[in-house]
Amino acid sequence: MKMGSMNQFKDQSLSFTKKLLPYVIYSLLPIALLRLYFNPLPFLPSTETELPHSNSITITSHSSSSSPSAEKVRTLETHCDYFNGKWIRDKRGPLYNGTTCGTIKEGQNCISHGRPDMGYLYWRWKPSECHLPRFEPETFLQLLQNKHLAFVGDSMARNQLESLLCMLATASTPNLVYRNGEDNKFRRWHFPSHNVSVSVYWSPFLVEGIEKSNTGPNHNKLFLDHVDEKWAKDLDQMDMIVLSIGHWFLHPAVYFESGSALGCHYCPGLNHTEIGFYDVLRKALRTTLNSIIERRGRKGSGIDVIVTTFSPAHFEGEWDKAGACPKTKPYRNGEKEVEGMDADMRKTEIEEVEAAKTNAIAKGFKWSRLEALDVTKLALLRPDGHPGPYMHPFPFANGVQERVQNDCVHWCLPGPVDTWNEIFLQKIKKWKHQPRSEE
């Protein structure tokens, strides 16, 4: 990737340039770093905007009526705002360890790669207004009995999935029943004890895309009005979906809509208009959520959709030096606010979840539950939870190297991402007491 010049941005308005700058810088990180994004997955939230992020809306329609006015829409009491809170010490430590689980991606298995400090494992998230219980694998499996839960997205989706599998495996052993694709990008497990299926689908844009490659174009191509059928073809078999995307949108890309080029992000030398990536992320989510509603809104028993919000990266200083994310403790509450790109990514995701709820109601579709899993803030406060140089085994076995690759994007397992699934479980528990229909 050539650095190129910034001249192309000169004629843009100041505010646009200010918005653009963080992700231009981001996209200029050396290509070695981009490899990170081919493998794992993450999420996170912001504080500066007042968003309706924690309300759950249950959309109920009477199946005998097709009139939207006949629908009953209930905005339910918020049980807890998981977004605001702080990390507090917890001497209990994680539910699992990396040696017994069997499903942890090598690059996130920090303990087995020789990460020396263990303090990062002894924290728990304390929401301001309530208590977040420890993960209960047996409860999770019971709630998902006879169901199929699919994680769809990029490597952050995989990171969350692997955390969940490790925690569930402490209660019941899953069988890997399907795997396909380079790097096992498509996998499915079955828990015979509860007839629960859990799967992961690689789809870093959710919409149709052609990923850049060494042999092909050096930018991604996205088709914003077509959902990616690699996962969507199985929609009728899914009962619950966790969507997690974001980081891949920072890379150079050309965008298409309605059969023609819409613009690009960081594509010097190509005759396309720079349009940034926030609106592109918005369109991709809109296409995705609307496709789910349209395909599942009228038939079957409905579907539950969770959108995990953006998980900030924590690179400090030079990305290829030993301590690119050297902190070993969480930030204190108030020490760091969700801002800039992290805030904008999160806001876009939450707004699209709200828009999709409104759309589902307006179309008179059968109920489906849509909610954001707002992890942006709790992730932002955990600079200590990434593999850093321990994405590779024993990186300092031969002394400190001049250059070392760091992963300050994904999360060590066990690690902070386990908390995403604790909140996920609380949402599912709450849903159980708020049925989607009068069954």
Ligand X SMILES: *[C@@H]1O[C@H](CO)[C@@H](O)[C@H](O)[C@H]1NC(C)=O
Catalytic residues: 155, 407, 410
Regarding 99 and contact with ligand X (CB under 6 A), the answer is: yes
340 phi, psi to nearest 5 deg? 60, -140
Token digits for 387? 């593999």
Provide the minimum distance between the beta carbon of 238 and ligand X in the complex, in angstroms, as a whole number. 9
Smallest separation (angstroms) from ligand X to the CB of 329: 22
Give the shortest CB-48-to-ligand X separation in angstroms: 38
Find out whether 141 and 194 touch, Cβ atoms under 8 Å. yes
- If the CB atoms of residues 97 and 434 are measured against ligand X, the closer one turns out to be 97
Write down the least CB distance from residue 99 to ligand X, Å.
Answer: 5
For β-strands 148-153 and 196-202, DSSP reports them as: parallel
Q: Which residues contact 206 (CB under 8 A, 6 or more apart)?
A: 152, 153, 227, 228, 231, 243, 245, 284, 285, 287, 288
Closest to ligand X by CB, 12 vs 55, is 12
Residue whose CB is less far from ligand X, 126 or 147: 147
Tell me the window of 142-150, 307-315, 368-376, 388-396 that interacts with ligand X (CB under 6 A). Answer: 142-150
- Give which of 362, 202, 201, 203 is closest to 293, Cα–Cα: 362
Binds ligand X (CB under 6 A): choice among 97, 139, 184, 328: 97
Is residue 300 a contact residue for ligand X (CB under 6 A)? Answer: no
Binding piece for ligand X, criterion CB under 6 A, among 144-152, 216-224, 320-328, 420-428: 144-152
225 CB-near residues (< 8 Å, 6+ apart): 207, 257, 258, 283, 287
Nearer to ligand X, 101 or 156 (CB): 101
CA 342 to the chain's CA centroid = 13
Least Å distance between CB 383 and ligand X?
25
| Minimum separation from the CB atom of position 262 to ligand X (A) | 12
Task: Output the furthest CA–CA distance in the chain (Å, rounded).
Answer: 71
Rank residues 99 and 128 by Cβ distance to ligand X and give the closer one: 99
Q: Which range of residues in 57-65, 95-103, 316-324, 371-379 is near ligand X by CB under 6 A?
A: 95-103
Q: Least distance from C-beta 361 to ligand X, angstroms? A: 27
Helix (H, G, I), strand (E, B), or coil: what is residue 42? coil
Q: Which stretch binds ligand X (CB under 6 A): 3-11, 145-153, 180-188, 305-313?
A: 145-153
Site for ligand X in 259-288 (CB under 6 A): 271
Handedness of CA 102, 104, 105, 107 (dihedral sign): negative
Spatial CB neighbours of 398, under 8 Å, sequence gap ≥ 6: none
Residue of 44, 286, 296, 283 lying closest to 150 (CA atoms): 296
Quickly list H helices, 297-416.
340-362, 376-380
Q: Which is nearer to ligand X, 17 or 97 (by Cβ)?
A: 97
**How many residues form the binding site for ligand X (CB under 6 A)?**
9
Indicate whether 436 belongs to the interface with ligand X (CB under 6 A).
no
Residue 347 beta carbon to ligand X: minimum distance, rounded to whole angstroms:
32
Q: Show contacts with ligand X in window 190-229 (CB under 6 A).
A: 195, 197
Segment interacting with ligand X, rule: CB under 6 A, options 43-51, 92-100, 212-220, 364-372:
92-100
Q: Which residues contact 77 (CB under 8 A, 6 or more apart)?
A: none
The packing angle between helices 340-362 and 278-296, to 10°, is: 30
Map tokens 């990029």 to a residue: 154
The nearer residue to ligand X, 147 or 282, going by C-beta atoms, is 147
CA–chain centroid gap for 165, Å, is 16
Cβ(40)–Cβ(105) below 8 Å = yes
Residue span 49-88 as binding mask against ligand X, x where in contact by CB under 6 A, dash where not:
----------------------------------------
Q: By CB under 6 A, is residue 147 in contact with ligand X?
A: yes
- Measured CA angle at 10 (ends 273, 14), to 5 deg: 100
Complex with ligand X: residue 239 or 351, whichever CB lies closer = 239
Residues contributing to the site for ligand X (CB under 6 A): 97, 99-100, 146-148, 195, 197, 271
